[in-house]
Structure 1
């Protein structure tokens, strides 16, 4: 009896040791894989989101090219780089330059505010007060910054870090467009792999449903929310740059941020119009009128774009998108703003589908 007990104990000990060794090896393998993948995680995630969002357009392009998937992806990527990548890269470089100028201006105590046009004082009712307030701010701002120099310098360092993040985010987005083109070429194989993984994690019924729900949510949020915000940011940002509005790229980023939060872009475009007419510069009246029309159209463009794009797929609650955008930006910078809104919306939809399924029906007890 004692011999049987010792034999059983040795077998259990050996099996436990082998199990622990396997668990340790699996954990080490997972940690190594995660560490290797982490530097590319933002790029891959953004590229996957872009690939899913652009795939319906890619299918149309494939038909135009007679089924040539490689040539179709190349044409779509080049078009996306021209229409989206180039303006985003320009705005990224401009944001970096503007924020860097703010930092160096604060460091050298050279930050100031442009004086208003004397014609502003001739406006009826509000003109004299606006002119006096603006003139006082232009005169007192350098003195105020000098009095709070240390506090301002601390915030200026954070602004410099934001500038680096903006440039890195713009470069990553441009590269993600190229990677998305490669992913779209092999989309059928990738979809089968994703379906197999989700089926293995759930079952044969829920796996394909979760995949379709995720795809629909990504397309809805990426095109109807983030896409509209990016288009408005590019449209108004280019206008701000051409009109010479101070901080044009930063204002463009503000437009994109407000658009993702589902707030109107006119919050930014109307003050830009006011500055355009109030600043003391040599711009012609015709140019001011043209830029005013540009800013008005750009600020209201979401009213046309949202019905066209948001109707596709599943519409996620705006609170979820807001939390995802803010949380993503805090965690991942400029690219996190884009990823957070999409990923949290997908997670929300998957969670709500699980909630709607409810607990499995229990079998009636035998009578």
Structure 2
């Protein structure tokens, strides 16, 4: 009877935990981002708490308000500037419909082997511009639906970001107590190594944050330099957009490719070629070098584990996988290393002495 009662209690606990996870499922992503933001900026929280005489709630409120101003104000300003650029893009499309494409650049026809064919295609597109617009008109509705869907995703992302900024207040205020709870729970599960694995996960997440933010800042700075050299208008706005889009895979080309096309349309072919090369090999190329280096720096994980964690996590879980992937592989690698070392020690102790 006692065993049956214990089994019933265990089943009820499992049901309770399952129901709790189900209730919290819509907020997991926002909770995760709030936790990552709080953890990455925890030194600021400790410093501000010390300045305020240990008043954690006040420090958490001030820091959260600062994040809201730091994130919300640039997003609103960026939205107004992007609206202006959208109007410019619409005007450009109307000009193409009325005036057609400009004459093919002279260097296009001088390209070996394919130059004449490319120049002919350019003239053909210009001559058939009206027919082309008629043929693609049925697809404009599909493009509009696609843009509407992307707008809904952006709106959902903004809502998720807002929830993350709300949750970060509670992570700031209750961070030490949450850390103690997690530490006690892991001690109950895995014993003395709990502290080691907490430090392993914390260090991995910190290095990923440094790698993502550091790489995004580097790409934004390089993009700003390229836009200023090429004379692209709104270079500062485009640099900020590059920083934001650098946080997602293949984001920066969404900025420098349209800028390159705009330069080519205006006839600045030299700067268009420069920006295309700069974007391909410098802006986008630095991501493949700097991010893995910053993530692996200061840790004892092999670089191949870091790379597999970053790219595999992105494929498996999306952008959140950028943090989940390296963390999972780091814990798994450390568990296997500990298990291997333990087994080797056991074999040495069991080996008979001659």
Judged with a 3 Å threshold, the aligned counterparts in structure 2 of structure 1 residues 223 and 24 are, in CA distance, closer, same or farther, namely same
Match of 2:261 among 243, 256, 275: 275
| Cross-structure match for 1:5 | none
Match of 1:215 among 188, 202, 215: 202
Q: CA deviation at 1:214?
A: 0.6
Q: CA deviation at 1:193?
A: 1.4
Question: Partners in 2 of 1:307 and 1:55 — Cα distance?
Answer: 23
Question: Partners in 2 of 1:180 and 1:226 — Cα distance?
Answer: 18
| Cross-structure match for 2:337 | 356
Question: Partners in 2 of 1:35 and 1:241 — Cα distance?
Answer: 49
Judged with a 3 Å threshold, the aligned counterparts in structure 2 of structure 1 residues 301 and 17 are, in CA distance, closer, same or farther, namely closer
Q: CA deviation at 1:40?
A: 1.6
Which is worse superposed, 163-172 or 131-140? 131-140
Structure 1's unaligned 5+ residue stretches are: 1-13, 100-104, 330-336
For residues 181-330 of structure 1, what are the structure 2 equivalents within 5 Å? Answer: 181-204=169-192, 206-225=193-212, 228-229=215-216, 232=219, 242=234, 255-258=246-249, 265=252, 267-268=253-254, 270-280=256-266, 310=295, 311=297, 317-329=306-318
Q: CA deviation at 1:188?
A: 2.0
Judged with a 3 Å threshold, the aligned counterparts in structure 2 of structure 1 residues 167 and 20 are, in CA distance, closer, same or farther, namely same
Question: Partners in 2 of 1:305 and 1:72 — Cα distance?
Answer: 34
Q: CA deviation at 1:307?
A: 9.9
Q: Does 1:145 align with 2:170?
A: no
CA distances 1:35-94 after superposition (whole Å, capped 9, x unpaired): 211122111111111111111333344455565544443443333333344445666899
Judged with a 3 Å threshold, the aligned counterparts in structure 2 of structure 1 residues 68 and 53 are, in CA distance, closer, same or farther, namely same
For residues 166-177 of structure 1, what are the structure 2 equivalents within 5 Å? Answer: 166-177=154-165
Check the 8 A contact 1:116/1:279 in 2, yes or no.
no
Judged with a 3 Å threshold, the aligned counterparts in structure 2 of structure 1 residues 302 and 27 are, in CA distance, closer, same or farther, namely closer
TM-score of the aligned structures, taking structure 2 as reference length: 0.67
Question: Partners in 1 of 2:124 and 2:246 — Cα distance?
Answer: 28
Judged with a 3 Å threshold, the aligned counterparts in structure 2 of structure 1 residues 16 and 57 are, in CA distance, closer, same or farther, namely closer
CA distances 1:190-210 after superposition (whole Å, capped 9, x unpaired): 221111111111012x10001
Question: Partners in 2 of 1:131 and 1:302 — Cα distance?
Answer: 35
| Cross-structure match for 2:150 | 162
Match of 2:44 among 57, 76, 80: 57
CA RMSD between the two structures = 5.0
Q: CA deviation at 1:159?
A: 5.0
Question: Partners in 1 of 2:173 and 2:222 — Cα distance?
Answer: 30
Q: CA deviation at 1:172?
A: 1.3
Question: Partners in 1 of 2:44 and 2:30 — Cα distance?
Answer: 21
Match of 1:39 among 20, 26, 30: 26
Q: How many residues align?
A: 318
TM-score of the aligned structures, taking structure 1 as reference length: 0.65
Which of the pair has the greater relative contact order for Cα pairs under 8 Å at 6+ separation? 1
Question: Partners in 2 of 1:92 and 1:327 — Cα distance?
Answer: 31
CA distances 1:327-356 after superposition (whole Å, capped 9, x unpaired): 223xxxxxxx1x211012111110000011
